[in-house]
Amino acid sequence: MSQMKAISLVARLLIGVTFLYAGIVHIADPSGFAQAIAAYRILPAWAINPLAVSMPWVEALTGLSLVGGRKTSGASLLASLMLTVFAAALTASLMRGLDISCGCFTTAPEAEKITWWYLLRDIALLTVSIAIFSLEAYLSSSPPESQDPATKLKP
Amino acid sequence: MAADENIRQVLGKGIWQATTLVIIGIIFGLAVNALRLDGLPLFTRAGSSQTVIKPIEKISLPDVFQLYTRKKVVFVDTRDPYDFAQGHIPRALNIQPGTTGAMIDALRSSQGKPIITYCSGPDCPLAEKLAQELKTLGISDVKVMTEGWYAWQNSGYPVEGNP
């Protein structure tokens, strides 16, 4: 049980810090982030700026929740959803052969261009994020008294 | 059966919590964007928001000089402050990409005159980056002088600064 909790903690910190960092980078440069989103050529122009100003805060809050262990099931669900969307955007861009930078952890357009490795990294994070949610479900399914059967005997 | 029930419960709780996080995130994002100097315009006229994706227009050195002589232009030098101090196009502002916040009001008030950004030369990406940034901030009349500062200087055009 405590082993499960330790695994969950490590996983939460990994995804939490990643999202918090990405959120802060995007909050610092909304205009650069808007250009990064636009470069994917997936969203209509009117949707780019509203997404560029609000998504970084959702990322940062998700990261903060995971690091702090608050609203963990919601935050891990949201992280999984975002990572799935990023994976879809990356796949579409790679298949169309777009020569763009990821915009994931830097907003500089001259940053390294996307490759299939970026997709692999995203899928790895997605797996960990789904694991956090599953662990959350597992941990909450075990009643607290099962941790210490001796407590049952006490009056 | 109990496990199924539990997953359903955790999922329900998760969806509820995720929705809360999204709503709080959007509220924070919109509020901070409204307060910050380099906030993005959220509702742009149809077509004008396309500037985000459109490539930036280039302008050649002779055309730039013509505008300069008619004083109908705002120059933005994107090189670092040290190079700027050494010499720049007269009356140019010195702004690097990512630092538009403090200068944005000055640039917005100069609307009506085209803004021309430049860097040291064609290999420097800063002038184009800044032009993109200004367009995203809703300033549409921006062009890039690709030839850059050295070409201007080598053409014997007027300069300002302390070499």
d(Cα B23, Cα B30) in Å, to the nearest integer? 11
- pLDDT confidence bin for B46, thresholds 50/70/90: very low
Q: At residue B159, what are phi and psi to the nearest 5 degrees?
A: -130, 160
d(Cα A149, Cα B17) in Å, to the nearest integer? 32
pLDDT in tens, A42-60: 988 889 999 999 999 999 9
Question: Which residue has 């100069």 as its token pair?
Answer: B110
pLDDT of residue A1: 67
- State ipTM: 0.86
Residue of B nearest to A79 (CA): B18
Global model pTM greater than 0.90: no
pLDDT of residue B47: 44
Determine the distance from the C-alpha atom of residue B17 to the mean position of all C-alpha atoms in its chain, rounded to a whole number.
36
- Each domain of chain A, given as residue ranges in start order, spans 2-147
Q: At residue B25, what are phi and psi to the nearest 5 degrees?
A: -60, -45
- pLDDT at A145 exceeding the cut of 80: no
Q: Which chain A positions have a beta carbon within 8 Å of B16's beta carbon?
A: 74
Q: Is residue B29 within 8 Å of residue A54, measured between CB atoms?
A: yes
How far, in Å, are A105, B48, B59 from residue B100 at the CA level? 21, 20, 22
pLDDT of residue B153: 87
Q: Which chain A positions have a beta carbon within 8 Å of B15's beta carbon?
A: 74, 77
Higher pLDDT, A14 or A97: A14
| Residue B94 DSSP one-character state | E
pLDDT in tens, A22-32: 999 999 988 88
Question: Which residue has 């802060």 as its token pair?
Answer: A24
- pLDDT confidence bin for A144, thresholds 50/70/90: low
